[in-house]
Amino acid sequence: YTRIVLQERPGAGDITPTTFRTESLPLAGLAPNAGELLVQVHWLSLDPAMRGWLNDARSYVPPVQIGEVMRAAGLGTVVQAGEGAAFRAGDLVRGTFGWTEYAVMKAKAVEKIELPKGAELLDFLGPLGMSGMTAYFGLEDVGQLQPGETLVVSGAAGSVGSLVCQMGKKRGAKVVAIAGSPEKCAWLEREVGVDRALNYKDPQWKEEMKKVGWVDVYFDNVGGEMLDFLLTRLNKGARIALCGAISDYNRKPKGLTSYLALIGQRAKLQGFIVFDYADQFPKAMKEIAGWLADGSLKRKFHIVEGLENAPSALTMLFTGGNTGKLVVKVDHG
């Protein structure tokens, strides 16, 4: 079977062809002990956070070690269950399997999937996965969005962003989306249903944003200069949910200059990590599953075929090559 391991750390720059290495190992060597499962992996999630896991730095999870299989959340099927594991061959499961076709996992670290009505398997990497939980709690708990407020979402055509936009509309906000191409903006306005979508690569976008009026909640996926600009557009009492800062993941951040506006506008800027809300996931999943069942939540998956393409696909997140949730289909055919 094939797996992909971290070969060298990319430092402060881009992921390169020598960052990862592919390995071939005999499947016969993989067998579950008591309390373990052998899982065949079908789908893997690609996430901007993976860039951070490649750095040898303090974070909310330890870095991936050199020679270790690249960490990734995935969906798979149990092939064989060790003694005492409460699973059966054929069970659909979610877990942090990594970039590999097969993984031996502690049964306790794996979650059995039961598809709610209207949901498909891939939704467990999208609206019913970490993207959905991040959007939900970032907006509800950190953003404290109220009906009638103006919500601005950056990285809006991505996995988290496109869900935040729709949840904002469901909560009665005016939603302004920021994304990196005319096609993404058209999708956001026509399909996702935002009030306005602005292309940040258009030199006029800041002028257009000024016409939108003051911002009550800024759900920030991008950080850097975009955050610096949005800080000048805050309404009194605005909240900024600092979800991510993808523009700074591949480089040394340059200094913010507009953060003093937080003081004058009595605004809050708060970072969060989705795992802090783990005990409340069932509540969010219930409401999101309801939107999937009634057909009111749109989701888009950008599917890359073949585990061998995971490293190059990961770089897509940093060039904007994806619309919606980027996933890898591990098995061909």
The residue range among 98-106, 202-210, 259-267, 320-328 that interacts with ligand NDP, by the rule CB under 6 A, is 320-328
The answer to the question of residue 157 lying near ligand NDP (CB under 6 A) is yes
Nearer to ligand NDP, 61 or 260 (CB): 61
> How far is 196 from 217, CA to CA, in rounded Å?
15
Residue 81, both tokens: 């269950």
Nearer to ligand NDP, 139 or 317 (CB): 317
The answer to the question of residue 159 lying near ligand NDP (CB under 6 A) is yes
The answer to the question of residue 143 lying near ligand NDP (CB under 6 A) is no
Nearest to 329 by CA among 296, 293, 301, 289: 301
Nearer to ligand NDP, 76 or 155 (CB): 155
The H or E element spanning position 31 is none
CA 10: distance to chain centroid?
A: 21
The residue range among 7-15, 82-90, 151-159, 168-176 that interacts with ligand NDP, by the rule CB under 6 A, is 151-159
The answer to the question of residue 40 lying near ligand NDP (CB under 6 A) is no
Residue 91, both tokens: 């069970």
By CB under 6 A, what part of segment 55-74 binds ligand NDP? none
The answer to the question of residue 113 lying near ligand NDP (CB under 6 A) is no
Nearer to ligand NDP, 93 or 178 (CB): 178
- 85, 104, 243, 327: residue in contact with ligand NDP (rule CB under 6 A): 243
Instruction: Number of residues interacting with ligand NDP: please give it, by CB under 6 A.
Output: 30
Contacts of 312 (CB under 8 A, 6+ apart): none
> How far is 108 from 90, CA to CA, in rounded Å?
17
For the chain, where are the E strands, in sequence order?
Answer: 2-6, 20-24, 36-45, 74-81, 92-95, 102-106, 111-112, 150-153, 174-179, 196-199, 215-220, 234-242, 268-271, 301-305, 325-329
Nearer to ligand NDP, 77 or 144 (CB): 144
- Whole-number minimum distance, CB 110 to ligand NDP, in Å? 20
Q: 328 pairs with which residues across the strands? A: 44, 304
The residue range among 11-19, 78-86, 178-186, 262-270 that interacts with ligand NDP, by the rule CB under 6 A, is 178-186
- 40, 100, 134, 150: residue in contact with ligand NDP (rule CB under 6 A): 134
The answer to the question of residue 140 lying near ligand NDP (CB under 6 A) is no
Q: Judge contact between 55 and 250, C-beta under 8 A.
A: no
The answer to the question of residue 265 lying near ligand NDP (CB under 6 A) is no
- 38, 179, 227, 304: residue in contact with ligand NDP (rule CB under 6 A): 179
Nearer to ligand NDP, 76 or 224 (CB): 224
Q: How far apart are the first and last CA of the chain?
A: 16
The answer to the question of residue 6 lying near ligand NDP (CB under 6 A) is no
Q: Is 100 helix (H, G, I), strand (E, B) or coil?
A: strand
Residue 328, both tokens: 């890898």
The answer to the question of residue 160 lying near ligand NDP (CB under 6 A) is yes
Nearer to ligand NDP, 289 or 326 (CB): 326
Nearest to 287 by CA among 103, 49, 127, 126: 127
Residue 74, both tokens: 């995935």
Q: Is 296 helix (H, G, I), strand (E, B) or coil?
A: coil
Pinpoint the alpha helices (H) of 181-273.
182-187, 205-212, 224-230, 261-264
Positions touching ligand NDP (CB under 6 A) are 47-49, 130-131, 134, 155, 157-161, 179-181, 184, 221-222, 243-244, 246-247, 272-274, 317-318, 320, 322, 326
